[in-house]
Structure 1
Amino acid sequence: LDIYKSGNVFTAPIIAGFVGADTIGVILASNVDQEKELTLVIDIGTNGEIIIGNRKVLAVGSCAAGSALEGAHISDGMRAAAGAIDSINIDPKNLEVSYSTIRNKKPIGICGSGLVDAIAEMLKSKIITRSGSFNKTITTHERFIKIDKFPEFIIAKREETSLNKDITITQDDIRQLQMAKAAFYSGAKLILNKLGANLKIQQIFLAGAFGSYINVKNAKFIGMIPDIQDEKIHQIGNAAGMGAQHCLLNKELRNKAQELLNRILYVEIAIEEGFQKEYVEAMYFPHYRIDYFPSLKEYKEIPKR
């Protein structure tokens, strides 16, 4: 480190094996432990940290969301960089696609925010069903191609891209996103159950680089986060980094970081009773239990399978 030779190095405490010092940083930056309302904080990444708390309770856990939201394991996926398709709209009448790219470059792939938009829009247009399968009644549409007999939906046509090939969404791409969003939702639900069956999320903070750019309405539409009012969902940026900076500038916060360990309930999500059931049900769009998402009226018209 390029610091004064007698300088002190501080590291925030580790909560558990997969919940490290960055989670302490998120808690300190978001002040979730001081909120009056029960607040869900998700630090979105390959290993998603989930925090639920307020002035009275505070619990954390970690879920293996995978790297689909960072563009990995997606057929035309990429990280958020110039040329990445980052937002998508689909006209439900004719399935025409409009999109934007980072820095307005010709598209070369789809990043995480674009993938979430794509799946949400494909649901609204009935291109896919609630189970995540392609709707067989419309796979003959001109925006579909078949590779090895498997349908793919075209987001950007060959002549629009810098790749000399179509940029598409495949069945496996949809499954990858389902696994990621199911990990977040089921993880949050299991932590909430641990705190008390009658508790209800009243506010959501989305942290991390991805959490800053995602379309929160579409994140809710696909069932990545619970169904609460849009104005109660806040994007708070790199909270882990902000928490670290605050600790460096404030000795009281460094002391508080240590004290938080005595208050935090750690939940090992993957071994919680009912994990498999919760995870499988959360694979559906928005969830197998459609009554968990009463505000999403559009789902009445979307086939289940």
Structure 2
Amino acid sequence: MHRDSAERRLAIFAFPGVTLLDVSGPAQVFAELGEIELPGPGYALSYVSREGGLVPTDVGLMIDTAPLSAMNPQDVDTLLIPGGPGIWKLRQDDAAMQWIGEVLPGARRIASVCLGAFALAWVGALEGKRAATHWRYCPRLQDSFPNVKVEPDAIFVQDGRVWSSAGVSAGIDLALAMIEEDFGHTIALDVARRLVVFLKRPGGQSQFSTVLAAQASDVEGRFSALHAWIIENIASDLRVETLAERAGMTPRTFARSYVNRTGMTPAQGVEALRVETARLLLESRQVDSVVEVAKRAGFGDDERMRRAFLRHLGVSPSEYRRRFSG
């Protein structure tokens, strides 16, 4: 394939204990451009580490890297810092942190995957910026850096030239979005098809559903069977009295216990499950009419569903279908 001589240097920084998929996911996306005719300069992909050579990942596989001394920080167009359990030791590596700091002023774009956001924060790149990281570490990032606006649900965030994504597979979404920005929708779609993935999950799509969040809070699984029953009867009358009877409790005791274990009222829990049901119907296009989706999901009418979608997802059902349906 034709290649412009002025390829843009895309450097992925590796360190001992880096998460393999944080590196290989975006790298595979970027490398796929080598098979596509591009309208402008492509990427020259490099893997770098402090000393160079083989760097062990979190699963034991090695990544062959070039030393930092072999790459002029001013030559880097895009810097991507992945995450992994080794990120905490990286902060103590003065030479590595200095090199990252030297890249920042001249790079067109800087990015992180998962815990890599902490490295960007340590060198001041996230100051006053919006950012994403793995949902488990969002509170830690926010507490450590109050001037960073952490978006705990986002798959990825772009704030100017600073990009950051949630954990592991979200790095693929980040890379596809970068390609779309640089080369357009058609080429990004081509790459996605070659990799057999969705073109992208826009950054506003939640890392995980409100239902999964509720289940995670209910660590003993007290209401797992009830949630399954609700889903099976999602279009039924699911008032508190009905749910309490199903759970074998008085309505008052049930409501108090449900809030304590899930962080939601029973009505909010039912609404969240109905939103999840409607999401699946909209994504799969099993039902053509939004009005029919509302009925099948138990909302009764499309206006109630629209208000619920805006509360939970920040978009209308029609907009959600446009973004995420197959």
Same fold (TM over 0.5): no
Greater strand content? 1
- Name the TM tier (shorter chain): under 0.3
TM-score normalised according to structure 2 size:
0.23
TM-score normalised according to structure 1 size:
0.24
Structure whose CA Rg is larger = 2
Higher relative contact order (CA 8 A, sep 6+): 1
Greater helix content? 2
